[in-house]
């Protein structure tokens, strides 16, 4: 057996729309009622089609903050959607950091359980839920980097940013892990 690829070398960055990605699973930034909404949640439901809502309604009674549930991707190119419920930002002293980290921990655990090798995450909680983007990127990268040590079968995790400014936060965090300019990020 070859040595597993180091976690830092399984991290990638993409600037653009998550809904078009051909990965095994894209992550949704959902709400705890799994009721759909705006932002990336709205875009994913539009691209997946109405079967997605029918599926989550039939299979789940919502999802707690900091947790995640899985569905098929229906009309998406991605085979699955991992619906994470990030925290609403309330100033940072109400457990928001731990809840946000929990989303990444639970999503990767569910991915591994379901044989998913490639996963793309949006910047959970940093839109409508108001979590500071730099702080969220630090939590996302450090949590995924740590969790990937447990899951050799997860070959690539892509962080997807909607803007170049948002991506800069990830570039900083990835550089701190030794991902330099010459690495195949993006
Ligand atoms: N592809 C990639 N990233 C995107 C896309 C896209 N198509 N669209 C938005 N983003 P948000 P939240 C970025 O607001 O803060 C919904 O109503 C966006 O720029 O989608 O977790 C849910 O139903 C931002 O950086 O999610 C919940 O009620 C990031 O995705 C609530 O919003 C997350 O922004 C969740 O709020």
Q: Report which ligand 1 atom has the smallest distance to the Cα of 124.
A: 21
Q: How many domains does the chain have?
A: 1
- The domain of 54 spans 7-176
Q: Is 4 in the pocket of ligand 1 (CB under 6 A)?
A: no
pLDDT at 179: 77
Q: What is the pLDDT of residues 31-42, one digit of tens each?
A: 999 999 999 999
pLDDT interval class at 122 (50, 70, 90): very high
Would you say residue 184 lies in a domain?
no
Q: What is the pLDDT of residue 4?
A: 79
Q: Report the mean per-residue pLDDT for the chain.
A: 95
Active-site entry in 3, 9, 12, 41: 41
What pLDDT is attached to residue 185? 56
Q: What is the pTM of this model?
A: 0.96
Residue 124 belongs to some domain of the structure = yes
Paired with 161 in beta bridges are: 15
State the CATH number of the domain containing residue 26: 3.40.220.10
**Closest atom of ligand 1 to CA, residue 35:** 23
Cβ of residue 39 lying under 6 Å from some atom of ligand 1? yes
Active site residue 41: yes
Question: Is 85's C-beta closer than 6 angstroms to any atom of ligand 1?
Answer: no
């Amino acid at each position: 057996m070859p040595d597993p690829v180091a976690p830092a070398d399984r991290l990638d960055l993409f600037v653009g729309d998550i809904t078009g990605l051909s990965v095994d699973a894209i992550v949704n930034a959902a709400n705890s009622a799994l009721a759909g909404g705006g932002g990336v949640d709205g875009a994913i439901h539009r691209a997946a089609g109405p079967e997605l809502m029918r599926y989550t309604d039939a299979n789940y009674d919502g999802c707690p903050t900091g947790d995640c549930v899985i569905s098929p991707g229906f009309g998406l190119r991605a085979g699955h959607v991992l619906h994470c419920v990030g925290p609403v930002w309330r100033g940072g002293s109400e457990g928001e950091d731990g809840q946000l980290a929990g989303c990444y921990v639970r999503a990767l655990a569910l991915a591994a359980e379901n044989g998913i090798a490639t996963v793309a995450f949006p910047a959970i909680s940093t839109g409508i839920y108001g979590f500071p983007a730099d702080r969220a990127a630090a939590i996302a990268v450090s949590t995924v980097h740590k969790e990937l040590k447990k899951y050799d079968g997860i070959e690539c995790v892509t962080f997807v940013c909607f803007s170049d400014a948002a991506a800069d936060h990830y570039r900083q965090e990835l550089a701190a892990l030794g991902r330099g300019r010459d690495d195949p990020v993006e």
